[in-house]
Amino acid sequence: MSLESEIRQLREERDAVLLAHNYQRGEIQDLADYVGDSLYLSRKAMESDRSVIVFAGVRFMAETAKILNPSRTVLLPDLKAGCALADAITVEQLRAWKAEHPGAVVVAYINTSAEVKAEADYCCTSSNAVKIVEQIPKDREILFLPDMFLGDYVRRRTGRAMHLWVGDCPVHAKLRPETLAHSRADHPGAPVIAHPECGCASQVLPQVDQVLSTDGMLRYAEETRAPEVLVATEVGILHRMAKLNPTTHFSPIDAGAVCPYMKEITLEDIRDSLRELRYRIDVAPEVAEKARRALERMVAA
Ligand code: 13P
Ligand code: SF4
């Protein structure tokens, strides 16, 4: 039996749903029940009536699934699938930052630990960060964390004076204005779509046609009639872009933009995860209780 068939069979036996992020390996995306960005997958996890949720993504996504749907067994097939951006702020650092700004509203990107989310007023993803910040009364001070590039982008879009935590995603931060300039010179006339975590997203906004979440980029890819599009994000997304629109050529601005965490999970890991029911992701009930309020605001926006 092929590995894929084995996974399909185990998935039924375990009453499991397989969720995969847009940066996962192509073969995992092809096998998943749902593929999407962080917001879409959070909603799918929350709505799931299956006993088991296998999360082909990174740890903070699996934790979010557990918080939003606590009665399910949530599995992360490889515990090395972390996130450097989520590691950029600890709960102790956040508490100290809040103490410096008493009364400030805390907006935490979904790329954070459950403990950090528990200290936040709102969570957001790249697809609704602007909308979330626009909900906050104008007279309130805002702490935005942990991605300074996304934060700067949101600050420019909303005109709000937010304090930004100085953290970044190493995969996206290296996509600098110079990277974009080189790529544009090699592909004259091609439109550019960029993820807001990119080091180039906010600084060279006029040169970027659209700043979008990964699902936003996929919608753009499906609809465009341009012969070529330049893509500024992790290269795993190119797999579905090519399938959704075979007549457009999608070129990464940097073919080396590969997230090592997102690539930890393999088909073998998913098979073993279903077989052994590992690795279970649990969140302490008191942390989950506090984090749920901020996450529910995120999924509702
Ligand atoms: P999206 O929500 O846009 O999929 O982003 C998640 C992520 O980790 C980007 O690096
Ligand atoms: Fe984290 Fe960056 Fe990887 Fe996204 S691409 S999971 S932010 S390290």
Centre of ligand 2 to C-alpha 179, Å, is 19
Which amino acid type is present at position 220?
Answer: Y
The protein residue with its alpha carbon nearest to ligand 1, atom 6, reads 38
Q: What percent of the chain has pLDDT over 90?
A: 94
How many whole angstroms from 2 Cα to the centroid of ligand 1?
Answer: 31
User: What is the reported pLDDT for 115?
Assistant: 98
Other CB atoms closer than 10 Å to residue 129's CB: what's the count?
27
In angstroms, the Cα distances linking 214 to 129, 148, 193, 240, 243 are: 13, 18, 10, 11, 15
Whether residue 111 has its Cβ less than 6 Å from ligand 2: yes
User: Which ligand sits nearest to residue 265's alpha carbon?
Assistant: 2
- With a 6 A CB cut-off, is 173 part of the ligand 2 pocket? no
Confidence bin at 77 (pLDDT 50/70/90): very high
User: Which residue puts its alpha carbon closest to atom 1 of ligand 2?
Assistant: 83
Fold that domain 3-82+262-282 belongs to in CATH: Rossmann fold (3.40.50)
pLDDT tens digits, residue range 107-120?
Answer: 999 999 999 999 99
Q: Report which protein residue has its CA nearest ligand 1's atom 3.
A: 213
On the question of pLDDT at 138 being above 70, the answer is: yes
Q: Where in the chain is the domain with CATH 3.40.50.10800?
A: 3-82+262-282, 86-169, 171-252
Ligand 1: residue of 23, 131, 295 to mutate (most ligand atoms within 8 A of CB) is: 23
Pocket of ligand 1, candidates 64, 113, 125: which has the most ligand atoms within 8 Å of its Cβ, to mutate? 125
Cβ–ligand 2 contact at 60 (below 6 Å): no
| pTM as predicted | 0.96
| Whole-number pLDDT of residue 201 | 65
- What is the residue whose two structure tokens read 């965490």? 261
Give me the residues paired with residue 107 across strands. 122, 144
Task: Give residue ranges with CB within 6 A of ligand 1.
Answer: 22, 37-38, 111, 125-126, 169, 197, 213-214
Predicted local confidence at residue 206, as pLDDT = 62
Atom of ligand 2 nearest to the CA of 259: 3
Q: Is the CB of 109 under 6 A from ligand 2?
A: no
Q: Which residues contact 286 (CB under 8 A, 6 or more apart)?
A: none
| Mean pLDDT calculated for residue range 78-96 | 98
Query: Environment class of residue 65 by beta-carbon count within 10 Å: exposed (0-12), middle (13-18) or buried (19+)?
Result: buried
CA gap 144, 101 in Å, rounded:
12
State in words which class domain 171-252 has.
Answer: alpha beta
Which amino acid is present at 231?
V
> Is it the case that residue 21 has pLDDT exceeding 80?
yes
Classify burial at 132, counting beta carbons within 10 Å of its beta carbon; exposed 0-12, middle 13-18, buried 19 or more: buried
> pLDDT at position 148, please?
96
Question: Which residues, other chains included, contact 271 with Cβ-Cβ below 8 Å and sequence gap of 6+?
Answer: 3, 6, 7, 10
Contact 226, 152 (CB under 8 A): no
Query: Which residue, by CA, sits nearest to atom 8 of ligand 1?
Result: 111
CATH number belonging to domain 86-169: 3.40.50.10800
Residue 279: asked if its preceding bond is cis (omega within 30°), the reply is: yes
pLDDT value, residue 199 = 84
Say how far apart CA 279 and CA 220 lie, in whole Å.
35
Q: Which ligand is nearest to the CA of 259?
A: 2
pLDDT of residue 209: 77
Distance CA 23, CA 178 (A): 24
Going from the Cα of 102 to the center of ligand 2, the distance in angstroms, rounded, reads 30
Ligand 2 pocket: which of 78, 262, 263, 265 to mutate (most atoms <8 Å of CB)?
Answer: 262
- Give CA–CA dist 46/297, Å, rounded: 13
Look at 15-24, 81-90, 149-158 and tell me which has the smallest mean pLDDT: 149-158
C-alpha 224/C-alpha 226 separation (Å) is 6
| Per-residue pLDDT tens digits for 178-219 | 899 999 999 999 999 999 999 876 666 666 778 999 999 999
Tell me the two tokens of residue 71. 């009665």
Would you state the pLDDT for residue 177?
Answer: 87
Cβ atoms 37, 25 nearer than 8 A? no
Q: What pLDDT was estimated at residue 205? A: 61
Mean pLDDT for the chain?
A: 96
In this prediction, residue 282 has a pLDDT band, given cuts at 50, 70 and 90, of very high
- Average of per-residue pLDDT across 274-291: 98
Instruction: Write down the pLDDT at residue 254.
Output: 96
In which band, very low, low, confident or very high, does the pLDDT at 296 lie, cut at 50, 70 and 90?
very high
How far is C-alpha 280 from the chain's CA centre?
Answer: 20
